[in-house]
Structure 1
Amino acid sequence: MLLTIHDSNLRKVAFIDNNKQDTLNYFNDAWTRYLETGSSTFDFTVFKKAIISDVGKKRAYNSLNEKAFVSFRYKGRTYLHTIRKIEENEKVIKCYSINLNLELINEYSIPYKSPKAMSFKEFCEEMDLLNYTFLKIGINEVANKKISAEWEGSDTKLNRLLSLAKKFGAEIEFDTRLNADSSIKSFTVNVYHEHDDSHQGVGQISPKILRYGKNLKTITRTIDKTGIYNTVVPTGKDDKGNVVDIRGLGPWSVNNAKGEREFYQSGAALYAPLSMQMYPSTFTHSTGDRDQWTRKDMTVESSNPEVIRSTAYRELKKNCYPAVTYEAEGFADLEIGDTVKVYDDGFSPTLLLEMRVSEQVISFTNPRNNKTTFSNAKALENRLSQGIQQQLDRMIEEAKPYTIKLATDNGVAFKNGQGQTIVTPTLMRGNKVINSGWRWVVDGEIKATSPSYTVRAADISQKIVLTVSAWIDNKEVASEQLTLINTSDGTAGKTQYLHRAWANSEDGRDGFSTSSSANRRYFGTYTDFTEADSQDPTRYNWTALFDNVKGGNRNYFKNGRTQQINTESSETYDMRTFIFDDFWKNPDRLKPNYVRVAFEISLSPALAEDTQANVHFSASPWYKNQIILKAGVTTPQSFEFTIDLSNASETYKTDNVFIRFGTAHGFPANQTVTLENAMLAVGTNFLGYVKAIEDVETDINSKADQGLTQEQLNALNEKAGVIQAELEAKASADTLDNWIKAYKDFVNANETARVQAEKDLISASQRVSSIAKDLGELSDRWNFIDTYMSSSNDGLVIGKNDGSSSMLFSPSGRISMYSAGVEVMYISQGVIHIENGIFSKTIQIGRYREEQYHINPDMNVIRYVG
């Protein structure tokens, strides 16, 4: 997720993107949205690191201050938050932000009493809730409603707005929209009728059905009748302080769905007779109806008897029956206020609920912290007949997959061909054991159809994979595999020898030598128990050295940073990314696996199941690769792969690469697809996304046409030069890396190979001399994305830009490693000095070698090697 940092005037000043190395990165983020207040908070922490765009002491992270704003896009909407609190130390900055302005949060509204019945908008205008906050009313579902209301105390404008919405029986949400230049386009408050049986309120009715064990970890049901009452006597006051009740109103009652009278008015009170019958106030009914009611007196802030009665009815309806609450733990990809159905067969009878999303926490960097809180839970009545219920239960059982559990009486590992084991399968469906037939297969050959199978160690050379499948009514319903191994004691006391050779060709035949590495481009090794080096090049595994680094960090895609489409209802929709002509002029494109494609793709709404998509060159024979898009994911999914053009003709050419979507290819209609950081490169050294050089030049030209200053033009030219400089620096850096490796080999080589290591070091030094400079007492430095390399009279230094770690190669023959400026390891005069170390495989001292036992990794053995 890309975060954009704005200054106090909402101008873009920095970016935070965990997918890019040349920007700031963030973690410990939590975006929390609340239904009750219609607002959201966004908290995140940023590493204080130097990046390539820093100038002098002006750091990008300095833009994260109490005056700044942060914005991001989520599901096609922009969310803007003002940073209200900063916590900073030497390494990180933690930011706390909210999506409201200071006028709403901090400024107070004075006491107010309406002179007449007024609308929601009129209240907002009279109490200055809109005038100075730049807030406007958008959707207003209570526009035709008018009430009288009074506030005796002062409160913040936000709390006053929430109180006003509650008096109108409404819910609100805030919506901020930005222009392309980041200026405010609109800041609106949408007012919805509160959620009830006839109105949705904020959010939508979702077609999803959440299930226990899939979307939800657990559901807890709590039934509490502590605060129950079944009669209420409400009163209010008029302008002179006189008490107003509801005696003068006409007859009133409410029946439930069964036609039973559930509520009625008598005199100045409202009654809930069904509640009284179920929850009487005393232990016995012998006292009659007189003492069975539980009464509550309440005061309503209104002089209108109709408002007093409707308010009392809402409270009585809410409190005349036990409070049944449901708490769901888990995460669902829903929006605030969305209503969704929940199915939980862990209860008996099965629990069917309708719930609303009241709070949601989303972490872009750690989705495991995502959490959805539900409210307004309502149990749905199961109206299925017994026969239909039985059929439904049978369908649910049939939907459960078959699984096979395997058991052995003697394990799965043997030694020296001794022993046997009996494998016994059990077919399960849910928690039930199912009878079936069996088929046992090894290497594609059916071995048996018995209820169990005996495996003898003598029949296993090293390992076998045993496949067992369950059959019901001549149909395979499940299968499972079991791997069994047979090991043998090795020959004790044999010494392994590492053999090395050099050559000038990939197969080792050109310039083959086991003694000289001078001017050779490939290095080969193999290991056996014979001391003499083989003169057969085919026995060696060959690796390319110094001069074989191929480019791969030029992007041939046009406008690869971001593009977005909507598939609407198309059966086939091809999302195309166009190619610069220089791609077809690069002869390396015809080499096997040299054409690399990478991109990030996000889908909204999320897919219901994993779906395959094809990435094509847009010309016959449609060279392509396949990708799998994951279900339930709306965050960007990253892909990197090669498309082999080695069989293409030199004249093969097309102007785009496309990804195929549409309803005919397994994708839903109206799919919003966002493609970011698209990269088409040629080579073996793929460093990640960079902007195409042609696009950078276009940016420079277009910006110049708009009257940029010379300083800005220089900055853009410098950015284009960085791409080319990194390509040129890569070959030199790899040459130096190989020189360093040769030097380490020289220091660490044992006595028998020291002479050869000295020759290798001399050869590597000769190669690196071609890029050496006569610096005298000066120093030279190469800066990369987050690392640097410098050379001076003191030696060669390779390290991180933030100073966390570095290495010094001194001309005196000492190699030092530093962590936070402290030397933690060095190599000098044939001695390695380190306080703590781990040898993962072997260590040899003198003629004894200690190593991990290959059969039991928890055991070490010491061998005499002569």
Structure 2
Amino acid sequence: MTPRIAILNCRDTPLGFLDNSQPGAMHYYDDCLHRYLSGNAYTFTFKVLSSQDPKELLQVGNKLSFRHPELGSFYLNITTVERDRDETEVTAMGLTFELLNEEIAATKLDTAKSFMGYLDHWGFEREKLKVGLNEVSDKSIKNEWTGNETVLKRLFSLATVFDAELEFIPFLNDDFSLNKLVMNIYRSDHGMGHDKRDITLRYSDGIEGITKTSDISELITAIRPTGKDGMMLSGYTHARESDGCYLSNSDIRSPSARDRFPSQVADKDDNYIVGMWSCDVDSKEMLYGRALAELRKKSVPKLSYDIDGYINVSIGDRVTIEDTQFTPKLYVQCRVVEQEISFTDPTKNKTTFDNFTEVQSQLSSSIISQMNALIEKYKQYQCGIASSSGTSFKNGEGETVLQAIVRDGAADKTDDFEIRWFKDGVQISTGKTLTVSSKDFDQTASYRFEAWKNGQLHGQYELTTVNVSDGLDGQADYLHIKWSNDGGVTFTANNGSTPGDWMGQYHDSSPMDSPDPADYTWVLVKGKDGTDGMTQKLVSMTTEYYLSTSDTEHIGGSWGTTYPDYADGKYLWVRIKAVYETPPATAYTTPELDKAWLNAGKAIQKAQTAADSAADASQAAADAVSQANAAKAKADDVAAEIAPIKTGVQEAKDA
């Protein structure tokens, strides 16, 4: 199967698709999905014909995401693009740039903390990175980190401290954008993946293209452990034979390992290779258990098997491999540590196994080098914009100077970069500063700068400028409405513009919708399950108004459905009422103060006060009409927002 691959820009907005199943779409080939055990990390390389990407959607900084029915979901950053007239070769890496680029400072604490306690201490943002399974939640450990590290390296280091293994799983929205990245924390004694040791893979028997690497440089066949204060195992009476190993005085011995690898310098009856080993425990029972585990690990060769072709296993899975090249026959419990998968040419598939006891939290050297190269080449810097006179203009007058700021920690690095300025997505200038006049745009304009060096984008920042007309305080008022299917945790598709189960709203003076669902007040419009298990049906949605004597609470009036005329000393509150059936229920949004209605009333008062002056009265009357029309338009906008819902309700009732 060749999955359909979405191309998204740096802000996670879909741009197009790679789809080998569609004749007119962009097709990919020479592809390789390379998966690694550590963190379930992965890279993806492929080629396309340059002529199929005329708009150059495949560029560094953009994203790739896709779903595979057997392998799961993948979310990657495009890190390298090599393009000539004929072909374009792309390399992308999994995990978000935040994990690869952001750094955590040195840490030294006086008390022990849990795994989650360390994340809280470092101030991890949980908007996208979520913690799922946590099998070490019962542990608290005191540890010190002496230098700065990237987030990803510090997480792996923390996992080592807690004897744990990490797995990162992306969850995608319907439009293939990233919904969240879940980090699962496993105990390292079993880790991620599944136990398939009942599956036996036989070397040179039914499997072709096997490359085996063997190493016995650290092999021992017996172990002599020492605990705290020189404690040894002599006299320990509760030892039981396990996997053919037994206790002899202070040594644990493995006869089967001795028979395979007998010592040539020992007595004939005692051909063991004894390894000295110490452990910081004060119990002989614990010393015996840990030493036995160490002996199991070091009494077999370190083996690595590279097997060409597809095998029905996943990263982290554990299997049994039978190797007949040893006498007696050697059975090795191995683990999948790397996979190379080609969607377009399965003959290139390859799976790498390593000794199960040798791969816990092992980070492949190849992924380390790629990570380091990526961090160095595509490091992201902290960016911001300073303005000399703010970003809001009154009545189309004034100007401001925008200054780009690029920092690496506390150090100002702006002069190291080429600064490119954009207005509403179109490049307009270069340089550290940009002068913006209120006459350069109508109501709003979006200004952004990008910091470039050596042909690479290293950071960007954006803000919006606004032209407002005179009101009570010179501020405009805007109603914002978004949709959600999970109670306001995330937006629906198209950044919340697609109707969903929940509707959220808020007022402010900015024309730009907030990207944070927490800024909205949410009301369920689909309905919850009733007592009989049936989903509630939405019967109606109505905008209600309340004329209050207070601007902090709704008192002295009552709720109604008619948009009222202005009344001196009164304040207008607005809410939306949703009515359900089966069983019947009613829900309301949190009431919001309607500032546009208040501003319109003030303008009317101004017109009346200025009646003695014809010129002033004429201007004031014009202002009053404008404000009143704006307020009425607000009500019309709300009605328009809920009209599709009302139509759907009516159609459902008619059906």
Q: TM-score range by the shorter chain?
A: 0.3 to 0.5
Identify the structure with bigger relative contact order (alpha carbons < 8 Å, sequence gap 6+).
Answer: 2
TM-score of the pair, normalised by structure 2:
0.46
Structure ID, larger Rg: 1
TM-score of the pair, normalised by structure 1:
0.35
